[in-house]
Amino acid sequence: MHRGAATLELNGAQFDEMSGTTGATRPPYEKLAQWLAKTPLDFLSSRRAQAELLFRRIGITFAVYGTQESTERLIPFDILPRIIARAEWIQLEKGLIQRVRALNLFLADLYGAGEIMKAGVVPSELIYRNPGYRPEMAGWRVPHNVYVQIAGIDIVRTNDGFYVLEDNARTPSGVSYMLENREVMMRLFPDLFAMHKVAPIENYPDRLLATLRSVAPPSASQDPEIVLLTPGQYNSAFYEHSFLADKLGVQLVEGRDLFVRDDMVYMRTTKGPQRVDVIYRRIDDEFLDPLAFRPDSALGVAGLMGAYNAGNVTLANAVGAGVADDKAIYTYIPDAVRFYLGEEPLLQNVPTWRCREKDALGYVLDHLPELVVKEVNGSGGYGMLVGPHATRAELDEFSRKLAERPDNFIAQPTLALSTCPISVAEGIAPRHVDLRPFVLQGAKDICVVPGGLTRVAMTEKSLIVNSSQGGGTKDTWVIDDVPA
């Protein structure tokens, strides 16, 4: 297990967001519990149906792979909010800010002096052989030295508290669902909102726009031109791209809408070329510029990296930031907090075995039925093994994969993820959840939207919350009127 790993209590009572481990209603949920006690099931059923109708009209879908059905599916939405007390949120927020500060310093160092590798804290081969590392970025600074303007940090809770499960520093998604969830909840349950002092999240687009403006290159005008670059309408997250462009009041563009001249990026408009200063890109690195990366890419802009290298355009998030998404590098982020900030991490990682290390690999192979095994570059819940739920054939297959490519995997305990009540046809039932708060890093400040996206495993006892595999979402309330 990696150095500095916290000890997790994996046994004992399951923590429930509403009832803790004792079964008594926790203070943040007291008003919701009272409301539920006097609310008929048929009322909840009708509100579930109304919520589904609203989301169908809005058109929120997500690609679901590996099924015989259509690849586009409505994301399930649960009508009961997840509630976090303000005092508890403040502590979580401090940990998120600390972690994103360290992530930015880590990335600046990886593409700069490499001090953390020289000090032997992080193995250099783990960085330089990583597919997320971009050697094209080595030796020069991005505008304002900010690599991760938008971060999505996946958080889980056990009966020991909050832990970081994953860092999303490349192109984190899900914020549109967070905003739409809140809007639907306010329409369907105004009385429930009136009972609580819920922190607003509606100003997220304004905060994001301010963040993007703050990181415009020095050569930009006082009113920098910002665009959102999408792969196009066939991308699984296109709804989010168009939603955010509309909320930000910026142009939604594809690669063909932009061109580079004299190391400047321009947008084609009916009034002629318009210089672009900041690109909020939702395209992976390798597709951004066919001259620098994949020559067969039709999604990017030829010459974009030249303009980027010249300091004439800001890409959010920075090219090469995806190296921090790697699950093996994730295990070193607490060390990065100590190295760059001289502080102890306020948020701990989930204990993790690096299978590239001989002793860790031996332990994982011996305890495979008890563990969760993940590909270091995997995402969306794909390419992973949940040992306690795996078949003998699946266990054998992963034993072979681990033996062949141990460096391609990490392993973690099967966490007792917290549950949260959801509304189902039979009444109220617990389901496992995680939380993705969104952190914005600008040129001078950093902020966290109060709440984030709670993802729900809609199937009983399932630990898979990813929307791409049928997981759902629910609104997340940070409330001011109760203690933690």
Residue pair 346/153 in contact (Cβ under 8 Å)? The answer is no
For strands 278-281 and 226-229, give the pairing: parallel
**Average pLDDT rounded to a whole number, residues 399-403:** 93
Q: Tell me, what's the pLDDT at 4?
A: 36
Instruction: Calculate the average pLDDT of the chain.
Output: 90
Residue 241 phi, psi (nearest 5): -60, -50
Q: Tell me, what's the pLDDT at 98?
A: 98
Phi-psi region of 450 (alpha: psi -120 to 50; beta: other; left: phi over 0): beta
3-state SS assignment for residue 422 = strand
> Per-residue pLDDT tens for 219-241?
998 899 999 999 998 888 898 99
Report the number of secondary-structure helices (H) and strands (E) in the chain. 14, 23
**Average pLDDT rounded to a whole number, residues 438-467:** 90
Q: Tell me, what's the pLDDT at 384?
A: 83
> Per-residue pLDDT tens for 47-62?
999 999 998 887 766 6
Question: Which band of pLDDT confidence, cut at 50, 70 and 90, is reported for residue 469?
Answer: low
Residue pair 365/402 in contact (Cβ under 8 Å)? The answer is yes
For strands 371-375 and 384-386, give the pairing: antiparallel
**Average pLDDT rounded to a whole number, residues 78-89:** 96
Could you tell me what percentage of the chain is helix, strand and coil, using 3-state DSSP and rounding each to the nearest 5?
A: 35, 25, 40
> Per-residue pLDDT tens for 90-101?
999 999 999 999
> Per-residue pLDDT tens for 1-57?
554 333 344 444 689 999 998 889 999 999 999 999 999 999 999 999 999 999 888
- The whole-model pTM stands at 0.91
Q: Can you tell me the distance from the alpha carbon of 226 to that of 223, in angstroms, rounded to the nearest whole number? A: 9
